[in-house]
Structure 1
Protein backbone atom coordinates (compact mmCIF):
# COMPACT_ATOMS: atom_id res chain seq x y z
CA UNK A 1 0.00 0.00 0.00
CA UNK A 2 2.91 2.32 0.73
CA UNK A 3 4.22 1.92 -2.84
CA UNK A 4 0.80 2.93 -4.17
CA UNK A 5 0.88 6.16 -2.11
CA UNK A 6 4.37 6.94 -3.42
CA UNK A 7 3.18 6.34 -6.99
CA UNK A 8 0.23 8.73 -6.44
CA UNK A 9 2.51 11.44 -5.04
CA UNK A 10 4.92 11.11 -7.98
CA UNK A 11 2.09 11.50 -10.50
CA UNK A 12 0.78 14.56 -8.65
CA UNK A 13 4.26 16.08 -8.54
CA UNK A 14 4.92 15.35 -12.22
CA UNK A 15 1.63 16.81 -13.51
CA UNK A 16 1.67 19.70 -11.02
CA UNK A 17 -1.81 19.25 -9.54
CA UNK A 18 -4.11 16.62 -8.06
CA UNK A 19 -3.74 14.26 -11.02
CA UNK A 20 -4.90 11.19 -9.13
CA UNK A 21 -7.97 12.98 -7.73
CA UNK A 22 -9.36 13.30 -11.27
CA UNK A 23 -9.42 9.51 -11.64
CA UNK A 24 -10.10 8.42 -8.07
CA UNK A 25 -13.89 8.40 -8.58
CA UNK A 26 -13.46 5.92 -11.42
CA UNK A 27 -11.40 3.54 -9.33
CA UNK A 28 -13.22 3.97 -6.03
CA UNK A 29 -16.89 4.99 -6.38
CA UNK A 30 -18.24 7.53 -3.88
CA UNK A 31 -20.11 5.99 -0.96
CA UNK A 32 -22.87 5.66 -0.15
CA UNK A 33 -24.22 5.07 -3.64
CA UNK A 34 -27.08 7.35 -4.62
CA UNK A 35 -29.63 8.17 -7.28
CA UNK A 36 -30.80 11.75 -7.80
CA UNK A 37 -34.15 12.43 -9.45
CA UNK A 38 -35.09 15.95 -10.57
CA UNK A 39 -38.64 17.21 -10.99
CA UNK A 40 -39.83 20.75 -11.74
CA UNK A 41 -39.64 21.99 -8.15
CA UNK A 42 -38.45 18.92 -6.28
CA UNK A 43 -35.37 16.72 -5.88
CA UNK A 44 -35.44 13.16 -4.63
CA UNK A 45 -32.11 11.79 -3.36
CA UNK A 46 -32.02 8.06 -2.62
CA UNK A 47 -28.97 6.71 -0.79
CA UNK A 48 -28.13 3.01 -0.52
CA UNK A 49 -27.23 2.42 3.15
CA UNK A 50 -27.84 -1.23 4.07
CA UNK A 51 -27.59 -2.35 7.68
CA UNK A 52 -28.34 1.00 9.28
CA UNK A 53 -29.83 0.23 12.68
CA UNK A 54 -29.49 3.56 14.51
CA UNK A 55 -30.80 6.58 12.56
CA UNK A 56 -29.05 8.86 15.06
CA UNK A 57 -25.75 7.75 13.49
CA UNK A 58 -26.58 9.53 10.21
CA UNK A 59 -26.58 13.30 9.71
CA UNK A 60 -28.10 15.06 6.70
CA UNK A 61 -27.13 18.67 6.02
CA UNK A 62 -28.37 21.03 3.32
CA UNK A 63 -26.66 24.29 2.43
CA UNK A 64 -28.16 26.21 -0.51
CA UNK A 65 -27.31 23.86 -3.42
CA UNK A 66 -25.26 21.22 -1.58
CA UNK A 67 -26.45 18.12 0.24
CA UNK A 68 -24.10 16.40 2.68
CA UNK A 69 -24.66 13.07 4.36
CA UNK A 70 -22.42 11.68 7.11
CA UNK A 71 -22.70 8.64 9.27
CA UNK A 72 -21.56 5.27 10.52
CA UNK A 73 -22.64 1.80 9.45
CA UNK A 74 -21.69 -0.95 11.88
CA UNK A 75 -22.13 -4.56 10.80
CA UNK A 76 -20.63 -5.96 14.05
CA UNK A 77 -20.00 -9.47 12.77
CA UNK A 78 -18.26 -11.33 15.59
CA UNK A 79 -15.69 -14.05 15.03
CA UNK A 80 -14.27 -15.31 11.78
CA UNK A 81 -12.02 -13.50 9.36
CA UNK A 82 -13.48 -11.38 6.58
CA UNK A 83 -12.29 -12.79 3.26
CA UNK A 84 -14.15 -10.38 0.97
CA UNK A 85 -15.65 -7.00 1.83
CA UNK A 86 -18.05 -5.30 -0.58
CA UNK A 87 -20.70 -3.96 1.81
CA UNK A 88 -20.13 -0.41 3.03
CA UNK A 89 -19.07 -0.43 6.67
CA UNK A 90 -17.64 2.23 8.94
CA UNK A 91 -17.81 5.99 8.56
CA UNK A 92 -18.92 7.79 5.42
CA UNK A 93 -19.12 11.42 4.32
CA UNK A 94 -20.58 12.38 0.94
CA UNK A 95 -21.31 15.79 -0.57
CA UNK A 96 -23.60 16.15 -3.55
CA UNK A 97 -23.90 19.28 -5.69
CA UNK A 98 -27.58 19.86 -6.41
CA UNK A 99 -28.84 21.19 -9.77
CA UNK A 100 -30.51 24.17 -8.09
CA UNK A 101 -30.76 25.83 -4.65
CA UNK A 102 -33.23 24.21 -2.26
CA UNK A 103 -35.32 25.38 0.66
CA UNK A 104 -33.80 24.75 4.07
CA UNK A 105 -37.19 24.90 5.82
CA UNK A 106 -38.84 22.09 3.84
CA UNK A 107 -36.75 18.90 3.92
CA UNK A 108 -38.04 15.40 4.52
CA UNK A 109 -35.93 12.29 5.14
CA UNK A 110 -37.01 8.68 5.68
CA UNK A 111 -35.32 5.28 5.85
CA UNK A 112 -36.84 2.00 4.69
CA UNK A 113 -35.40 -1.30 3.48
CA UNK A 114 -31.83 -0.01 3.31
CA UNK A 115 -32.66 3.20 1.43
CA UNK A 116 -32.40 6.70 2.86
CA UNK A 117 -34.74 8.97 0.90
CA UNK A 118 -34.21 12.75 1.14
CA UNK A 119 -36.85 14.97 -0.44
CA UNK A 120 -35.87 18.57 -1.21
CA UNK A 121 -37.80 21.47 -2.72
CA UNK A 122 -36.56 24.17 -5.09
CA UNK A 123 -35.89 27.58 -3.59
CA UNK A 124 -38.06 29.98 -5.56
CA UNK A 125 -36.48 33.41 -5.36
CA UNK A 126 -38.62 36.52 -5.21
CA UNK A 127 -35.80 38.48 -6.87
CA UNK A 128 -37.74 38.80 -10.14
CA UNK A 129 -40.97 39.82 -8.47
CA UNK A 130 -41.97 43.48 -8.81
CA UNK A 131 -42.80 45.29 -5.60
CA UNK A 132 -44.59 48.63 -5.89
CA UNK A 133 -42.91 51.22 -3.71
CA UNK A 134 -45.00 53.82 -1.94
CA UNK A 135 -43.82 57.36 -2.68
CA UNK A 136 -43.89 59.84 0.17
CA UNK A 137 -44.75 63.42 -0.80
CA UNK A 138 -42.33 65.72 1.00
CA UNK A 139 -43.79 68.92 -0.49
CA UNK A 140 -47.04 68.89 1.47
CA UNK A 141 -47.59 71.92 3.68
Structure 2
Protein backbone atom coordinates (compact mmCIF):
# COMPACT_ATOMS: atom_id res chain seq x y z
CA UNK A 1 0.00 0.00 0.00
CA UNK A 2 1.50 3.37 -1.00
CA UNK A 3 1.72 6.45 1.23
CA UNK A 4 -1.19 8.21 -0.45
CA UNK A 5 -3.53 5.25 0.09
CA UNK A 6 -2.48 5.05 3.74
CA UNK A 7 -3.19 8.77 4.18
CA UNK A 8 -6.62 8.45 2.56
CA UNK A 9 -7.47 5.49 4.82
CA UNK A 10 -6.40 7.55 7.83
CA UNK A 11 -8.50 10.50 6.61
CA UNK A 12 -11.59 8.26 6.27
CA UNK A 13 -11.09 6.96 9.82
CA UNK A 14 -10.65 10.53 11.13
CA UNK A 15 -13.78 11.70 9.27
CA UNK A 16 -15.79 8.85 10.75
CA UNK A 17 -14.41 9.44 14.26
CA UNK A 18 -15.19 13.18 14.40
CA UNK A 19 -18.35 12.81 12.27
CA UNK A 20 -17.29 15.53 9.85
CA UNK A 21 -14.74 16.13 7.15
CA UNK A 22 -11.24 16.27 8.61
CA UNK A 23 -10.02 18.51 5.76
CA UNK A 24 -12.91 20.98 5.35
CA UNK A 25 -11.25 23.22 2.74
CA UNK A 26 -10.78 20.32 0.35
CA UNK A 27 -14.37 19.15 0.85
CA UNK A 28 -15.66 22.73 0.50
CA UNK A 29 -13.96 23.05 -2.90
CA UNK A 30 -15.34 19.69 -4.06
CA UNK A 31 -18.90 20.52 -2.95
CA UNK A 32 -18.98 24.13 -4.15
CA UNK A 33 -20.69 23.01 -7.30
CA UNK A 34 -19.86 22.40 -10.91
CA UNK A 35 -16.80 23.93 -12.55
CA UNK A 36 -17.32 27.05 -14.67
CA UNK A 37 -15.24 28.50 -17.51
CA UNK A 38 -15.91 32.03 -18.79
CA UNK A 39 -14.72 33.17 -22.20
CA UNK A 40 -14.81 36.80 -23.29
CA UNK A 41 -14.78 38.68 -26.58
CA UNK A 42 -15.25 42.38 -27.08
CA UNK A 43 -18.99 42.49 -26.29
CA UNK A 44 -19.86 38.91 -25.44
CA UNK A 45 -19.38 36.30 -22.70
CA UNK A 46 -19.64 32.56 -23.05
CA UNK A 47 -20.08 30.66 -19.77
CA UNK A 48 -19.53 26.91 -19.81
CA UNK A 49 -20.81 24.95 -16.80
CA UNK A 50 -19.72 21.33 -16.39
CA UNK A 51 -22.88 19.32 -15.64
CA UNK A 52 -22.33 15.62 -16.33
CA UNK A 53 -25.28 13.51 -15.26
CA UNK A 54 -27.97 16.10 -16.00
CA UNK A 55 -30.90 13.88 -17.01
CA UNK A 56 -33.57 16.52 -17.58
CA UNK A 57 -33.05 20.12 -18.68
CA UNK A 58 -35.76 21.10 -16.16
CA UNK A 59 -33.31 20.04 -13.40
CA UNK A 60 -31.26 23.21 -13.95
CA UNK A 61 -32.20 26.88 -13.55
CA UNK A 62 -30.13 29.86 -14.73
CA UNK A 63 -30.52 33.38 -13.34
CA UNK A 64 -28.68 36.44 -14.65
CA UNK A 65 -28.59 39.73 -12.79
CA UNK A 66 -26.37 42.66 -13.78
CA UNK A 67 -22.85 41.23 -13.50
CA UNK A 68 -23.53 37.83 -11.97
CA UNK A 69 -24.93 34.49 -13.02
CA UNK A 70 -26.45 31.86 -10.74
CA UNK A 71 -26.96 28.23 -11.75
CA UNK A 72 -29.09 25.99 -9.53
CA UNK A 73 -29.78 22.34 -10.15
CA UNK A 74 -29.21 18.68 -9.50
CA UNK A 75 -27.02 16.12 -11.25
CA UNK A 76 -26.99 12.38 -10.69
CA UNK A 77 -24.60 9.79 -12.03
CA UNK A 78 -26.05 6.28 -11.87
CA UNK A 79 -23.56 3.43 -11.55
CA UNK A 80 -25.97 0.48 -11.18
CA UNK A 81 -25.10 -0.98 -7.77
CA UNK A 82 -21.43 0.00 -7.59
CA UNK A 83 -19.99 1.86 -4.61
CA UNK A 84 -18.02 5.09 -4.94
CA UNK A 85 -14.29 4.80 -4.19
CA UNK A 86 -13.01 8.12 -5.57
CA UNK A 87 -15.12 11.24 -5.97
CA UNK A 88 -13.88 13.98 -8.32
CA UNK A 89 -16.85 14.51 -10.64
CA UNK A 90 -19.37 16.80 -8.97
CA UNK A 91 -22.84 15.33 -8.48
CA UNK A 92 -25.85 16.20 -6.36
CA UNK A 93 -27.77 19.39 -5.59
CA UNK A 94 -25.86 22.59 -6.27
CA UNK A 95 -26.18 26.34 -6.29
CA UNK A 96 -23.30 28.14 -7.98
CA UNK A 97 -22.99 31.91 -8.35
CA UNK A 98 -20.26 33.49 -10.47
CA UNK A 99 -19.33 37.15 -10.81
CA UNK A 100 -19.01 38.23 -14.43
CA UNK A 101 -16.33 40.67 -15.65
CA UNK A 102 -18.98 43.24 -16.62
CA UNK A 103 -22.73 43.85 -16.58
CA UNK A 104 -24.72 42.00 -19.21
CA UNK A 105 -27.96 42.64 -21.08
CA UNK A 106 -31.18 40.96 -20.04
CA UNK A 107 -32.01 40.17 -23.63
CA UNK A 108 -30.88 38.26 -25.60
CA UNK A 109 -29.51 35.45 -23.46
CA UNK A 110 -28.95 32.08 -25.10
CA UNK A 111 -28.53 28.83 -23.15
CA UNK A 112 -28.29 25.23 -24.29
CA UNK A 113 -27.02 21.90 -22.94
CA UNK A 114 -24.86 19.55 -24.99
CA UNK A 115 -22.63 16.59 -24.06
CA UNK A 116 -22.44 17.39 -20.33
CA UNK A 117 -21.82 21.13 -20.76
CA UNK A 118 -24.30 23.96 -20.21
CA UNK A 119 -23.50 26.84 -22.60
CA UNK A 120 -24.73 30.33 -21.67
CA UNK A 121 -24.12 33.21 -24.10
CA UNK A 122 -24.44 36.73 -22.70
CA UNK A 123 -23.93 40.16 -24.21
CA UNK A 124 -22.28 43.22 -22.68
CA UNK A 125 -24.57 45.94 -21.39
CA UNK A 126 -23.38 48.98 -23.26
CA UNK A 127 -23.79 52.06 -21.14
CA UNK A 128 -22.96 55.64 -21.68
CA UNK A 129 -20.61 56.70 -18.89
CA UNK A 130 -20.74 60.37 -19.77
CA UNK A 131 -22.12 62.57 -17.03
CA UNK A 132 -25.32 64.50 -17.53
CA UNK A 133 -24.80 67.84 -19.11
CA UNK A 134 -26.71 70.73 -17.69
CA UNK A 135 -28.22 72.86 -20.39
CA UNK A 136 -28.31 76.54 -19.72
CA UNK A 137 -31.78 78.02 -20.28
CA UNK A 138 -31.83 81.60 -21.46
CA UNK A 139 -34.67 83.99 -21.02
CA UNK A 140 -35.78 86.19 -23.92
CA UNK A 141 -38.37 88.80 -23.07
CA UNK A 142 -41.26 89.34 -25.46
> Corresponding residue for 1:117?
119
Find runs of 4+ consecutive structure 1 residues off by over 3 angstroms: 1-8, 24-27, 129-133, 135-140
TM-fit CA distance, 1:126: 3.4
Contact 2:70–2:96 (Cα < 8 Å) also in 1? yes
Residue 53 of structure 1: CA displacement?
Answer: 1.6
CA drift at 1:4: 8.1
Unmatched segments (≥5 aa) in structure 1: 9-19
Q: What is the TM-score with the length of structure 2 in the denominator?
A: 0.70
Q: Secondary structure at the match of 1:56?
A: helix
Q: Secondary structure at the match of 2:84?
A: coil
- Whether contact under 8 Å (2:52, 2:77) holds in the other structure is no
How much is the aligned-residue C-alpha RMSD, in angstroms? 3.2
Task: Report what 2:29 is aligned to.
Answer: 28
Distance 1:138 1:4, change over 3 A: farther
| 2:21–2:27 Cα contact (<8 Å) kept | no
Cα distance change on mapping 1:40 and 1:105 into 2, 3 Å: same
Contact 2:40 2:46 in 1 (8 A): yes
Q: 2:26, 2:103 → 1: CA distance?
A: 25
Q: Which moved more, 1:123-132 or 1:88-97?
A: 123-132
Q: Which runs of 5+ in 2 are unaligned?
A: 1-14
Higher share of residues assigned strand: 1
TM-score w.r.t. the length of structure 1 is 0.71
**Displacement, 1:93?**
1.0
Q: 1:55 aligns with which of 54, 57, 69?
A: 57
Q: CA deviation at 1:132?
A: 9.8
The aligned residue for residue 74 of structure 1 is: 76
> Partners of 2:27 and 2:38 in 1: how far apart?
19
Deviation of 1:35 after TM superposition, in Å, equals: 1.1
> Quick one: structure 1 residues 86 and 100, their matched pair in 2 at CA, closer, same or farther if it must change by over 3 Å?
same
